[in-house]
């Protein structure tokens, strides 16, 4: 019997690993801060400790035989939107684990990322996640070789299976499953021909156990040799598909080398086709939802700012999605004949004065209610936390339609006291709030009860995908200062 520490032991892969090791009779300690882990994943017989890996010395006084370090931030595209969190978990946290390993002289099995090999290594600097994960593998290898420590670095390739996460930090297959069950169209990032090597979690666990027993060094790839184009995977589920704009952090392929892992007697035994086939046979798709989103905006064409321009740019690239925009007349000249976008429908309220914005929480809600009765929307979207967001909050309370708020270019650092009270009400009632990572820090200060990452129900998976696309259009592909944490 060994004493084994699993960081991230309450997560998707970690819980399966704990289950396997506990079944074999080992003493298992899980260290998890429950950022994405869940207590629903707890396994009988495992000792669970709640905390950050940077505090591993205090939380784990034992000297384990093996440390499986799985407890890191693990979403590529989302990492671009919150680099500070990635730095905290994947740099500071992992440094704590490495120091623990050096002192205890145990064996470290580090879960690297296949993003390191994306497009021949060209995508390493396209996201904080890819950069820091690659840096951690190099750091682990350098220390292990220099100090003659036991270690093995494994690289996961798109793991799927039971206990996958959905929502903001969800995996692709689970995201597609939730879209299928809700009746929402499956959202695929353009061009759709990008390929991935999808690997069942049971195959990953089998490889990890073998690597811990007999592996040493780097380059233990854990992936299914068969690659699938994302568009082909979506078609396996059937139903409607929406193509989203391409993203800067999206790699087209990853080099896969599992030869070193196979020398340990490992091979995959599950296929993605069979997994999806069994899922579709057991579950009927949800009632079909319209490719339609209800948007509240204080102003819109011909008065446009960065937020409105970002939405227009996004709508142009998503011509098969309908956007109903409830907005104000705001100015006396309300000629919108030159707008000319067939998938964007403007519903203007007011009398042509700046005071029209005060009518949104009343007249705008009535307009939204009328539209809600005509269409089966995926969710409501408010551009900025203003009078438009207040309308979204009231409509949500009437209809239950989930609300997404994007903060755009709002300065939340210097907010008057009276405005803070209004923002606290709005943000606390929203289901998801997105802003640049500096904005989200201020949101947490303004509305401590606000959950920036709550589920938005049936439109959840599609909204998350849409939010990424909107974010890139708003900030551009060159995200400022994400290579280092903000002060």
**pLDDT for the residue numbered 478:** 40
**What are the DSSP E strand ranges found in 103-209?**
107-113, 151-156, 159-160, 186-189, 195-196, 199-200
**pLDDT for the residue numbered 448:** 58
- The residue assigned the tokens 């996961």 is 156
Q: Is the pLDDT of residue 29 over 50?
A: yes
- Comparing 303-312, 349-358, 410-419, the range with the smallest average pLDDT is 410-419
Neighbours of 97 (CB within 10 A): 24
Handedness of CA 52, 54, 59, 64 (dihedral sign): positive
Q: How far apart are CA 97 and CA 319, in angstroms?
A: 48
Q: Is the pLDDT higher at 427 or at 312? A: 312
**pLDDT for the residue numbered 419:** 74
**pLDDT for the residue numbered 464:** 67
Q: What HEC string does 237-268 produce?
A: HCCCEEEECCCCCCCCCECCCCHHHHCCCCCC
Q: Is the pLDDT of residue 208 over 80?
A: yes
Query: What mean pLDDT comes out for the span 126-135?
Result: 88
How would you class 80 by CB atoms within 10 Å of its CB: exposed for 0-12, middle for 13-18, buried for 19 or more?
Answer: buried
**pLDDT for the residue numbered 248:** 67
Q: Is the pLDDT of residue 458 over 60?
A: no
Query: What mean pLDDT comes out for the span 127-139?
Result: 91
Give the range with max mean pLDDT: 15-29, 180-194, 288-302, 441-455: 15-29
Query: What mean pLDDT comes out for the span 128-140?
Result: 92
Give the range with max mean pLDDT: 16-30, 178-192, 374-388: 16-30
Identify the DSSP state of 119: G
- Whether the CB-CB separation of 297 and 323 falls below 8 Å is answered with no
Q: How far apart are CA 440 and CA 422, in angstroms?
A: 17
- Comparing 177-186, 297-306, 320-329, 474-483, the range with the smallest average pLDDT is 474-483
Query: What mean pLDDT comes out for the span 46-54?
Result: 97
End-to-end CA distance of the chain: 46
Q: How far apart are CA 238 and CA 313, in angstroms?
A: 28
Q: Where are the domains of the chain?
A: 3-157+200-223+251-269, 292-474
Which CATH number is 3-157+200-223+251-269's, of 3.40.50.720, 3.40.47.40, 3.30.1330.80, 1.10.3720.10? 3.40.50.720
- Whether the CB-CB separation of 123 and 83 falls below 8 Å is answered with no
**pLDDT for the residue numbered 483:** 39
- Whether the CB-CB separation of 24 and 18 falls below 8 Å is answered with no
Q: Is the pLDDT of residue 481 over 60?
A: no
Nearest to 325 by CA among 343, 313, 310: 343
Query: What mean pLDDT comes out for the span 413-431?
Result: 76
Query: What mean pLDDT comes out for the span 110-130?
Result: 78
Q: Is the pLDDT higher at 66 or at 354? A: 66
Q: Is the pLDDT of residue 10 over 50?
A: yes
- Whether the CB-CB separation of 124 and 116 falls below 8 Å is answered with yes
**pLDDT for the residue numbered 153:** 97
**pLDDT for the residue numbered 460:** 63
Average pLDDT, the chain: 87
The band of 296, judged by pLDDT with boundaries at 50, 70 and 90, is very high
The band of 430, judged by pLDDT with boundaries at 50, 70 and 90, is confident
How would you class 39 by CB atoms within 10 Å of its CB: exposed for 0-12, middle for 13-18, buried for 19 or more?
Answer: exposed
Query: What mean pLDDT comes out for the span 147-174?
Result: 91
Q: Percentage of the chain surpassing pLDDT 90?
A: 57
**pLDDT for the residue numbered 96:** 97
Bond before 455 cis per omega within 30 degrees = no
DSSP 44-57: TTPEEEES-GGGHH
Q: Do the domains 292-474 and 3-157+200-223+251-269 match in fold?
A: yes
Q: Is the pLDDT higher at 461 or at 347? A: 347
Q: Is the pLDDT of residue 487 over 50?
A: no
The band of 237, judged by pLDDT with boundaries at 50, 70 and 90, is very high
Phi, psi for 201 (deg, rounded to 5): -60, -35
Q: Percentage of the chain surpassing pLDDT 70?
A: 85
Q: Is the pLDDT of residue 477 over 70?
A: no
How would you class 409 by CB atoms within 10 Å of its CB: exposed for 0-12, middle for 13-18, buried for 19 or more?
Answer: middle
Q: Is the pLDDT of residue 373 over 60?
A: yes
CATH class of the domain whose range is 292-474:
alpha beta
**pLDDT for the residue numbered 196:** 93
3-class DSSP state for residue 167?
coil
């Amino acid at each position: 019997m060994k004493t084994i520490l699993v960081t991230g032991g309450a997560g998707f892969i970690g819980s399966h690993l704990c289950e396997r090791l506990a079944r074999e009779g080992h003493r298992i300690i899980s260290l998890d801060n429950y950022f994405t882990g869940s207590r629903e994943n707890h396994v009988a017989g495992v000792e669970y400790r709640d905390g950050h890996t940077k505090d591993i010395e205090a939380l784990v006084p034992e000297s384990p035989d093996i440390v499986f370090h799985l407890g890191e931030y693990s979403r590529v595209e989302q990492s671009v939107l919150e680099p500070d969190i990635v730095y905290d978990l994947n740099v500071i946290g992992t440094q704590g684990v490495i120091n623990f390993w050096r002192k205890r002289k145990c064996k470290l099995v580090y879960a690297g990322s296949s993003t390191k090999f994306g497009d021949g290594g060209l995508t390493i600097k396209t996201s904080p996640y890819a950069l820091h994960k690659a840096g951690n593998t190099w750091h682990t290898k350098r220390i292990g070789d220099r100090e003659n420590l036991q270690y093995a670095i494994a690289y996961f390739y798109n793991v799927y299976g039971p206990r996958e996460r959905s929502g903001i930090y969800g995996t692709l297959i689970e995201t597609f499953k939730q879209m299928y069950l809700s009746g929402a169209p499956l959202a695929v990032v353009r061009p759709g021909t990008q390929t991935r090597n999808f690997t069942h979690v049971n195959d990953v666990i089998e490889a990890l156990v073998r690597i811990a027993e007999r592996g040493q060094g780097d380059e233990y790839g854990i992936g299914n040799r068969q690659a699938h184009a994302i568009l082909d995977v979506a078609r396996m589920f059937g139903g409607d598909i929406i193509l989203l704009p391409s993203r800067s952090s999206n790699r087209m392929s990853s080099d896969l080398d599992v030869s070193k892992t196979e020398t340990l007697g490992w091979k995959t035994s599950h296929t993605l086709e069979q997994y999806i086939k069994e899922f579709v046979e057991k579950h009927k798709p949800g009632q079909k939802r319209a490719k339609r989103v209800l948007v509240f905006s204080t102003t819109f064409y011909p008065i446009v700012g960065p937020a409105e321009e970002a939405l227009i740019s996004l709508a142009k690239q998503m011509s098969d999605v309908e956007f109903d925009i409830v907005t104000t007349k705001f100015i006396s000249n309300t000629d919108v004949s030159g707008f000319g976008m067939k998938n964007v429908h403007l519903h203007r309220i007011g009398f042509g004065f700046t005071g029209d914005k005060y009518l949104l929480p009343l007249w705008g809600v009535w307009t939204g209610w009328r539209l809600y009765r005509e269409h089966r929307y995926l969710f409501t979207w408010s551009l900025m936390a203003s009078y438009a967001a207040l309308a979204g909050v009231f409509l949500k309370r009437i209809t239950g339609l989930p609300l997404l708020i994007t903060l755009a270019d709002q300065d939340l650092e210097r907010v008057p006291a009276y405005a803070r009270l209004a923002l606290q009400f709005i943000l606390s009632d929203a289901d998801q709030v997105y802003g640049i990572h500096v904005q989200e820090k201020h949101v947490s200060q303004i509305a401590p009860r606000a959950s920036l990452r709550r589920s938005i129900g049936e439109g959840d998976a599609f909204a998350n995908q849409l939010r990424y696309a909107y974010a890139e259009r708003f900030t551009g592909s060159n995200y400022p200062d994400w290579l280092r944490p903000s002060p």
